[in-house]
C-alpha cells in the first residue's frame, strides 16, 4: 500500500496543488483543528466559509456486511474517482480483499488492483469457501497514527473521523508505519499522508461516502453511531458485530457483520 517517491507536480508548488486538489477544504480543516464550538461559529458567520456544519452534533461510523459483498469493486472505483486517488495500483483509500479457504487448510488472500475491476474466477476444486472483505481506514477511536504524528497533522474530529491536514503533514511516514491496517499511503505528488476520510467533504453536505452510495448490495452502511434510529444503529442491532484486530485496542469505528474467522 505504501508508495515510493514520485516526481513533483509540474509547475505547481505544494500549497497550490493542495488548494486545487484537496476534497476537504483547507478552511474547514483549519476550523476543525482549531477546536469547536468557536470554529462552528466562524463557519456560520462567514458566507465564504463552508456551510454551518456542526461536527459536535454527529458521531459517524461505518458498517460492513461481508455476506453481502459480491466483490464487484464499484466502491473502490467510486472512491478513486471521488477523491482523486492516484490510479497506480499502490494507492487506495478503500479496497476489496478476496479470501479463498482451501481444503488443504491454507487461505489465499488477494486484491488485484484493489478489486476495482472485480476478481478472476476461482477453480472450485479444493476450495472450501470464498468471500470478500472491503477494507478502509477504520477511523479508530484510539488511533496509533494520531499518536505518532510528530507535528499534529493527523487529528480526530469531534464527529469521529481521523483526518490529515496536508498543510501540516511533513511526509515523515510515521503514521503509515503505525497504522496496523495498512490504510495509509504517501501521495506521490504532494508527498503527504493520505487515507479514507469517510468522504468528509460529502458528510458536511449531508451526503454519505461515495463507496456507500454506489454499493449495489448495500454491503456498506453509514450513519450516526448513537442515533436512536439510523441505518447504522439498525445494522448494529440486527447483527453480531466484530472489528478488525480487536486485540490491538485501536477501537475501530468500522464495524463488520458476518466476518469470517479467517479474516486478518
Ligand atoms: Fe489511523 Fe490506521 Fe486507525 Fe485509520 S485505521 S485511524 S489510519 S490507525
Ligand atoms: Fe462489495 Fe459493495 Fe464494494 Fe461491490 S460495491 S465490492 S458489493 S462493498
Domains by residue range for the chain, with CATH: 33-264 (3.30.70.20)
Distance 136 CA to ligand 1 centre (A): 9
Instruction: State how far the Cα of 76 lies from the Cα of 133, in Å rounded to an integer.
Output: 12
- Give the Å distance between the CA of 203 and the centre of ligand 1: 19
Cα of 215 from ligand 2 centre, angstroms: 5
The predicted model scores a pTM of: 0.86
Ligand closest to Cα of 179 equals: 1
Q: Identify which of 135, 152, 139, 137 has the alpha carbon closest to the alpha carbon of residue 184.
A: 137
Greater confidence (35 vs 146) lies with 146
Is the CB of 72 within 6 Å of ligand 2? yes
70 within ligand 2 shell (Cβ under 6 A): yes
Is there an atom of ligand 2 within 6 Å of 74 CB?
yes
pLDDT greater than 50 at residue 2: no
Band of pLDDT at residue 17, cut at 50, 70 and 90: low
Ligand 2 binding pocket includes 71 (Cβ within 6 Å):
yes
Picking from 52-56, 108-112, 187-191, which range would have the lowest pLDDT averaged per residue? 52-56
Distance 219 CA to ligand 2 centre (A): 6
> pLDDT higher for 37 or 60?
60
From the CA of 74, give the closest atom in ligand 2: 5
Q: Which ligand is nearest to the CA of 252?
A: 1
Residue 38 contacts by C-beta under 8 Å, 6 or more apart in sequence?
Answer: none
For a pLDDT cut of 70, what percent of the chain falls above it?
82
pLDDT score recorded for residue 183: 98
99: CA distance to ligand 2 center in Å?
15
For the ranges 31-35, 60-64, 79-83, 169-173, the lowest mean pLDDT is seen at 31-35
Q: What is the mean pLDDT of the chain?
A: 87
Amino acid at each position: 500500500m505504501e508508495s515510493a517517491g514520485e516526481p513533483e507536480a509540474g509547475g505547481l508548488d505544494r500549497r497550490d496543488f493542495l488548494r486545487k486538489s484537496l476534497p476537504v477544504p483547507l478552511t474547514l480543516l483549519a476550523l476543525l483543528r482549531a477546536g469547536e464550538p468557536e470554529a462552528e461559529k466562524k463557519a456560520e458567520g462567514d458566507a465564504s466559509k463552508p456551510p454551518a456544519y456542526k461536527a459536535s452534533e454527529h458521531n459517524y461510523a461505518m458498517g460492513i456486511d461481508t455476506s453481502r459483498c459480491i466483490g464487484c469493486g464499484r466502491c473502490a472505483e467510486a472512491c478513486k474517482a471521488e477523491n482523486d486517488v492516484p490510479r497506480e495500483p499502490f494507492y487506495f483509500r478503500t479496497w476489496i480483499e478476496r479470501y479463498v479457504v482451501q481444503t488443504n487448510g491454507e487461505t489465499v488472500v488477494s486484491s488485484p488492483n484493489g478489486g476495482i475491476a472485480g476478481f478472476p474466477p476461482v477453480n472450485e476444486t479444493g476450495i472450501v469457501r470464498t468471500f470478500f472483505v472491503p477494507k478502509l481506514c477504520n477511523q479508530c477511536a484510539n488511533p496509533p497514527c494520531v499518536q505518532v504524528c510528530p507535528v499534529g497533522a493527523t487529528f480526530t474530529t469531534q464527529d469521529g473521523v481521523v483526518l490529515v491536514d496536508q498543510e501540516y503533514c511533513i511526509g515523515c511516514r510515521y503514521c503509515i508505519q503505525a497504522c496496523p491496517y495498512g490504510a495509509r499511503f504517501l501521495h506521490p505528488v504532494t508527498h503527504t499522508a493520505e487515507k479514507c476520510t469517510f468522504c468528509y467533504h460529502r458528510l458536511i453536505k449531508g451526503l454519505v461516502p461515495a463507496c456507500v452510495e454506489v454499493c449495489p448490495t448495500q454491503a456498506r452502511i453509514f450513519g450516526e453511531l448513537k442515533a436512536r434510529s439510523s441505518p447504522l444503529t439498525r445494522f448494529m442491532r440486527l447483527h453480531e458485530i466484530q472489528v478488525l484486530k480487536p486485540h490491538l485496542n485501536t477501537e475501530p469505528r468500522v464495524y463488520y457483520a458476518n466476518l469470517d474467522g479467517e479474516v486478518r
